[in-house]
Amino acid sequence: MIKGYQAELMDIYEKIRTEENRNLKKRREEIKEKFPEIIDVDISIQKLCLNLSMAALKGINDPKELDALKDEITDLRAQKYEMLVARGYSPDYLNLHYHCQKCKDTGFIGTEKCSCFKTRLIKLYYKDSELEEAVKRNNFRTFNINLYPNHKLNDEKYTPRKNIESILEFVTGEYLPNFKNINTNLLFYGNSGTGKTFLSWCIAKELLDRGHLVVYKTADELLRALKDVKFNNDTDLENLLVNCDLLIIDDLGSEQITDFSSSELFTLINKKILKNKKMIISTNLSLPLISKRYSERISSRIIGEFKLFKFIAEDIRIQLNLKRQQ
The pTM of this model reads 0.80
- CB distance 117 to 107 below 8 Å: yes
Gap between the Cα atoms of 216 and 208, Å rounded: 12
Average pLDDT value over all residues in the chain: 91
| Per-residue pLDDT tens over the stretch 195-245 | 999 999 999 999 999 999 999 999 999 999 999 999 999 888 899 999 999
| Per-residue pLDDT tens over the stretch 144-183 | 998 898 888 878 888 999 999 999 999 999 999 999 999 9
pLDDT for the residue 218: 95
Residue 235 CB neighbours (<10 A) = 10
**H or E stretch covering 249:** strand 246-252
Helix, strand or coil, per DSSP, at residue 167: helix
What integer is the mean pLDDT of 35-60? 87
DSSP-derived letter for residue 240 is H
